[in-house]
Structure 1
Amino acid sequence: MTTADHRLTQLQTLEAESIHVLREVAAESERPVLLFSGGKDSIVMLELARKAFAPARIPFPVMHVDTGLNFPEVLEFRDKRVAELGVELVVASVPDAIAAGTVREEPNGSRNRIQTPVLLDAVEEHGFTALFGGARRDEDKARAKERVFSFRDEFGQWDPKNQRPELWDLYNGRTHLGESIRVFPLSNWTELDIWGYIAQEEIAIPQLYLAKERDVVDRQGMLYAVNEFITPRDGEPVLHESVRYRTVGDANLTAAVRSTAGNVEEVIAEIAVTRLTERGATRGDDKVSDAAMEDRKKEGYF
């Protein structure tokens, strides 16, 4: 006589862990919010939130810190998905903050640093006490230092040397007045796990993630698609390449990678053999220094 095998797969284990975190925060926190940009990680996190509370609606709003430099396809996907789920969308606008004079444009074209005060102002304005982020530990060294529950002081700052223990999936969500929590349900996921889950659950994604013939320019070994934010410089050749995006940040600083992966299964096959992180391969704004991400997180960035 044999007994049934009730062991969970890797993706089932990750899904159960993430759903547990989402439910725990919803139960403990007064006003949580989920950061949703329309990128693959936040798409998976939003799907996990839908599953966590089905058949009821997701019991908290979603927020996007809009830099004004997003790919139009991603914004279109964001609005469509939010409408399908019937959740409230809060948009914290960097262009509006620039126009109001609360932040100042940086000469290098990156709006990563000025996202932080816009995010913190939105948190204060709406009274959010816990913010779900889609960070994964394999993205960046600074991500790997952070716990699932990341506590921020009244200024939104993170101290990597002052973190609470998280034993046996027990989370202490208590905060003092003015403090908030950043919560990362995808902390134990990898890029490959994300794509495996997208394939398994048949989750819709922006078409930018799939390979297509696109006009690009090569700048310091990185391929930037020609668009409203990237125009060829004098004497700079325009190449016609089959490329896709591994991440969809700001269109003026996010590069594509050469690829022939026209569907999710082919993307998974490519990711399985790569040894370069998506940020290292495609994010021009993270090439400032090895500690660029950690510096921003200490200031209040996700």
Structure 2
Amino acid sequence: MARRAREQVRDVARGELGWAFGFCVLGLRRPLMLLTRREWRGGEYIPRSGGCVVVTNHVSEFDPVPFGHFVYEQGRVPRFLGKAEVFRVPVVGSILRSAGQIPVYRMTSDATKAFSAAVAAVRRGECVVVYVEGTITRDPGLWPMVGKTGAARIGLTTGCPVIPVAQWGPQDVLAPYGRRPRLLPRKLMQMRAGPPVDLSSLQGREPSPGALREATDRIVADITSLLEVIRRAKAPPVRFDPKTAGVAEIGNPNRPRHRDVEMDGDAL
């Protein structure tokens, strides 16, 4: 870890990460190391080079920070797909754009721009991070809910590896849609990556709606299995579906949507 820290400082000094991402590394890494504990498994499954999609569950507005830390410590610069509203926040939006993060214009005619940008990033050899549910899970137990097809579409279009990662712990720092972080005592950030999702039977042709749904179900299933290992518990037998439950699919279900500021890797 000490060697990696020295390499990070060197990379920032050389400007190899860009000023914005370098700012995030220097500004966030040390506080994270001091204020959280880490239990990381499976980092070797994240390719050290070449385009890939890393897909995870979403349990807190805080989780992009420790998750980005996990991905970066594996030697990759994460390119998150985040909802466009975050990019409109003064200063924050400028940093995100300069750091190469990708805005998602949900429920608009511009939604396909995020897909095109993500595909281009993968083809440049970058590591794109997608929240498979498209928003913080609505499941009462914070298990992964029914997924969106964006990650599957990127993976099937590019043929890149799709790496599932389960995370647990950020919700102890900041509850879903909470506004008061609980930093002490130090919370445990658990990340567990698995081998690439097997999409081989669905590749080699234009992704159909059925293929996208099947690929998405496989991705969510792999993430759920990893989360079961972390939590030492079994997920509900039926995956939570906001549509059938009559729950808002995006944004904070408890207040007007325009005030939300979460980082969502939304459906594309």
Normalised to the residue count of structure 2, the TM-score between the two structures is 0.38
Larger CA Rg, structure 1 vs 2: 1
Normalised to the residue count of structure 1, the TM-score between the two structures is 0.35
